[in-house]
């Protein structure tokens, strides 16, 4: 079915801020396959690829796929955004988008065939998440390893911004490394890595005729199963659904169940689950359009504050990093909460 021009997708938070149809999903759909001026190209990239438009689309169009495929077409004709190109160059050269020393990545040797894939954000920017995850997995008695400097960026940002070739190169490096390390199962911290490895990697593998037999879980899926009820008398939290985990992977209840298990009361934000809005960091928006990105972040923070909850919890290092910059509320990853709760129980014992 074609676009009906019903405008439902104009609930897009970026359109709400910018206000011009060229930024709206409805406007962009009218421009597909047309020759775009520089202005229109720039507007086309004003999108976090959060998928909210797809949830409300009356024509059931696969809008996320449409945005990603059309960004790839733009990149092919050299119409990319400078900040995205900078990330592409950095991941190829350094293995991470921050041009950081790869040695800083968490390393844990073990004969186990379970790999904890922390991802770039948790390794370099919000290290506490990676460290807490390692500690929690150890407390739960899991045998696992972490790849250290041989782990490279999963390529999620590259896939979202249209740099498919770069993402494919990163795929090859990671998959070869996992094969060498005898990995069978992968646990990720970052919903972006999770979606990329779970949904995009098998397609790249098929295209490249490479075997891909890795089981992937997000840490919240693992913890929901493995964590015992702690029933601590903790306060109130509100939970932000990260786009890659929620809308794109339909993991909504697991993180909430973990929070309830450890003893939190959840107060939902008005827009939750499939109607959650992006933290503002996704799809290369923060890198190229920081001012729009910050406005979305602020909007979400205000929504979180209005719940009256004491803490804003999410399950994504990107969201934690993004929110922490402006939030007056305490911002935590689910895993950080799990770790401190497990410690509390341990201390009581």
Ligand X SMILES: Cc1cc2nc3c(=O)[nH]c(=O)nc-3n(C[C@H](O)[C@H](O)[C@H](O)COP(=O)(O)OP(=O)(O)OC[C@H]3O[C@@H](n4cnc5c(N)ncnc54)[C@H](O)[C@@H]3O)c2cc1C
Name the site residues for ligand SF4 (rule: CB under 6 A): 3-9, 25-26, 29, 56-59, 61
- The least CB distance from residue 286 to ligand SF4, in Å, is 24
Judge contact between 319 and 117, C-beta under 8 A. no
Judge contact between 49 and 282, C-beta under 8 A. yes
| Structure-token pair, residue 273 | 């689950």
Long-range contacts of 172-179 (CB under 8 A, 24+ apart): 172/208, 172/210, 173/95, 175/201, 175/205, 175/210, 175/212, 177/147, 177/150, 177/151, 177/152, 178/115, 178/214
- DSSP code string of 80-137: --HHHHHHHHHHHHHSSTT---GGGS-EE--S-SEEEE-HHIIIII-HHHHHHHHHHH
Q: Closer CB to ligand SF4, residue 8 or residue 252?
A: 8
- The least CB distance from residue 259 to another protein, in Å, is 24
| Structure-token pair, residue 231 | 């029933």
Q: Closer CB to ligand SF4, residue 7 or residue 345?
A: 7
When CB distances are held under 5 to 8 angstroms depending on the partner's kind, the choice from ligand SF4, ligand X, another protein, none that residue 29 binds is ligand SF4
| Structure-token pair, residue 15 | 């359109």
Q: Pick from 6, 99, 107, 302 the residue near ligand X by CB under 6 A.
A: 6
When CB distances are held under 5 to 8 angstroms depending on the partner's kind, the choice from ligand X, another protein, ligand SF4, none that residue 25 binds is ligand SF4
When CB distances are held under 5 to 8 angstroms depending on the partner's kind, the choice from another protein, ligand SF4, ligand X, none that residue 270 binds is another protein
- The least CB distance from residue 347 to another protein, in Å, is 40
Q: Closer CB to another protein, residue 1 or residue 93?
A: 1
Helix (H, G, I), strand (E, B) or coil at 217: strand
- The least CB distance from residue 30 to another protein, in Å, is 6
- The least CB distance from residue 34 to another protein, in Å, is 9
Site pattern 19..58 for ligand X (x: CB under 6 A): ---------------------------------------x
| Structure-token pair, residue 10 | 């104009």
- The least CB distance from residue 191 to ligand SF4, in Å, is 24
By CB under 6 A, tell whether 107 contacts ligand X. Answer: no
When CB distances are held under 5 to 8 angstroms depending on the partner's kind, the choice from another protein, ligand X, ligand SF4, none that residue 40 binds is another protein
Q: Alpha carbon of 222 to those of 116, 215, 251, 304: distances in Å?
A: 11, 12, 12, 26
Burial (CB count <10 Å: 0-12, 13-18, 19+), residue 276? buried
| Structure-token pair, residue 56 | 């409300």
Q: Which residues bind ligand X (CB under 6 A)?
A: 6, 58
């Amino acid at each position: 079915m074609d676009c009906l021009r019903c405008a439902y997708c104009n609930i897009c938070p970026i359109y709400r801020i910018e206000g011009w149809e060229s930024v709206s999903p409805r406007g962009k759909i009218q421009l597909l396959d047309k020759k775009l001026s520089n202005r229109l190209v720039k507007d086309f990239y004003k999108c976090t690829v959060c998928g909210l438009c797809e949830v409300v689309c009356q024509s059931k169009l696969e809008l996320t796929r449409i945005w990603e495929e059309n960004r790839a077409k733009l990149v092919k004709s050299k119409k990319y955004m400078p900040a995205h190109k900078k990330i592409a160059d950095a991941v190829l050269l350094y293995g991470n988008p921050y041009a950081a020393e790869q040695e800083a990545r968490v390393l844990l040797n073990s004969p186990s065939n379970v790999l904890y894939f922390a991802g770039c954000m948790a390794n370099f920017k919000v290290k506490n998440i990676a460290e807490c995850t390692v500690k929690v997995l150890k407390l739960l008695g899991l045998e696992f390893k972490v790849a250290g400097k041989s782990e490279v960026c999963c390529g999620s940002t590259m896939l979202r911004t249209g740099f498919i070739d770069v993402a494919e190169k990163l795929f090859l490096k990671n998959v070869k490394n996992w094969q060498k390390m005898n990995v069978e199962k992968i646990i990720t911290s970052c919903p972006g890595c999770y979606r990329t490895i779970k949904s995009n990697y098998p397609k790249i593998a098929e295209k490249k005729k490479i075997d891909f037999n890795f089981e992937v879980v997000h840490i919240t899926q693992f913890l929901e199963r493995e964590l015992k009820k702690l029933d601590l008398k903790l306060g109130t939290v509100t939970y932000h659904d990260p786009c890659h985990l929620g809308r794109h992977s339909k993991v909504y209840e697991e993180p909430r169940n973990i929070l309830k298990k450890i003893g939190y009361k959840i107060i939902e934000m008005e827009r939750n689950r499939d109607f959650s809005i992006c933290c503002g960091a996704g799809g290369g928006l923060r890198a190229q359009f920081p001012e729009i990105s910050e406005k979305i972040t602020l909007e979400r923070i205000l929504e979180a504050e209005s719940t009256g909850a004491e803490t804003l919890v999410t399950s994504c290092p990107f969201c934690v990093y993004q929110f922490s910059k402006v939030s007056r509320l305490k911002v935590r990853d689910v895993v950080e909460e799990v770790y401190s709760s497990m410690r509390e129980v341990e201390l009581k014992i």
